Structure 1
């Protein structure tokens, strides 16, 4: 599976769990960490965990390995490492504090096909 396809699969998993402000950043030109960052948030710890769990399940359904998940228990900032795609699932309070979108402001945003039903 191509990284951009994987990014779309992950975004859909987030959207299915009602993650808010889902954005994707193309990191290829600005960082060696990953090709893409996906950033979103949930409104409480339970929702943050639900989003992270959905990412893991959807990725594994597509026969891709999740390398690791950090921060799941505290559910304030859960990092889901899927290799070249790294997902940051924040609690809404933490997202504005860390403001990764500004920190990685040089990265181009990637268009996602989510939330189009209805």
Structure 2
């Protein structure tokens, strides 16, 4: 039962994160199911913002939303620069990139198989 409860919370958290990103006009949102692949979390979400200001804003609002709705303090890294911000909510790891930085690192290719990598959502 505890595993099912944890997965339900993880799914709720993911849905809230995806809604927050969409509301803040994040682009090319990709979600990756990490269950069974790694212990770092259940999901990874990768998205882009058009500028350093938008990347930082998306990250700040997302961290606040997670705190308000789930009582979790998300760990963030990279907010000072705004090229790539990592938001670790525990069950879901979120990467918010400027498009050029995202293209350079290509995180999706590390975690997705071929058919999934070609299907970003907006």
Structure 1 counterpart of 2:68, from 58, 61, 70 = 61
Structure 2 counterpart of 1:97, from 99, 104, 109 = 104
Higher relative contact order (CA 8 A, sep 6+): 1
Could you say what the CA RMSD is over the residues aligned between the two structures, in angstroms?
2.0
Shift of 1:58: 1.1
Q: Which consecutive residues of structure 1, in runs of 5 or more, have no partner in the other structure?
A: none
Identify the residue that residue 6 of structure 1 maps to in structure 2. 13
Shift of 1:33: 1.1
Q: Which consecutive residues of structure 2, in runs of 5 or more, have no partner in the other structure?
A: 1-7
Shift of 1:46: 0.3
2:66, 2:72 within 8 Å by CA — same for their partners in 1? yes
Identify the residue that residue 93 of structure 2 maps to in structure 1. 86
2:14, 2:43 within 8 Å by CA — same for their partners in 1? yes
The 5 A counterparts of 1:11-26 are 11-26=18-33
Partners in 1 of 2:104 and 2:71 — Cα distance? 31
Partners in 2 of 1:90 and 1:14 — Cα distance? 12
Structure 2 counterpart of 1:52, from 30, 35, 59 = 59
User: TM-score by structure 2 length?
Assistant: 0.83
Count of equivalent residues: 111
**Which structure has the highest strand share of the two?**
1
Shift of 1:63: 2.8
